[in-house]
Amino acid sequence: MDTIFTRIIKGEISCVRVYEDEHTFAFMDIAPAARGHTLVISKEPYPQLTDVPADVLAAVAQTTKRVAQAIVLALHPDGFNIVQNNGSAAGQTVFHYHVHIIPRWQGDNALQHWPPGSSDAAELQELADQIRAQL
C-alpha cells in the first residue's frame, strides 16, 4: 500500500521530522489545526487502528506519549488533544494509521468538540451487550 506517509518515510516527499525509531515516525503536520500539531505514524502502512498488530500499536502509543511530553515542555500548551480517525466517515483522509497530537491553548478554538448527545439506560445496556458479544 502506497500512501503519502509511506512516501514521506521513503524520503520521496519532504517533511519536518520530529522523531523516528524502528516502528514509528513523527513529523509536523503541514496543515496544522494548532501551532505544534504533530503526527505520529506507524512505519508499516496499516489502513486503520483495527489493522495494526499489538506490538506496533504499543510502539505508536509510546512514541505519541514521548512526543506529547516534548511538546508540553517545548510549547507550554494549556492542554492537548490526541486524535485518531478511522474511516472516511470519521474524517480519515490518509488511510495509513496515524495519531494527531494537537497542542491547545485556552480560547484557541482549534477544534470544535462534538455536541453531547442523549441516551437512556436501556439503550446503553443493549449497545454494551452487542459490543461485549463481539469481544
HSE (CB half, 13 Å, CA atoms) of 18?
23
d(CA 132, CA 135): 5
Residue 98 is among the residues annotated as catalytic for this protein? yes
Instruction: Provide the H-helix boundaries in the chain.
Output: 4-9, 54-75, 121-134
Active-site residue among 23, 98, 100, 113? 98
Residues assigned a catalytic role: 98
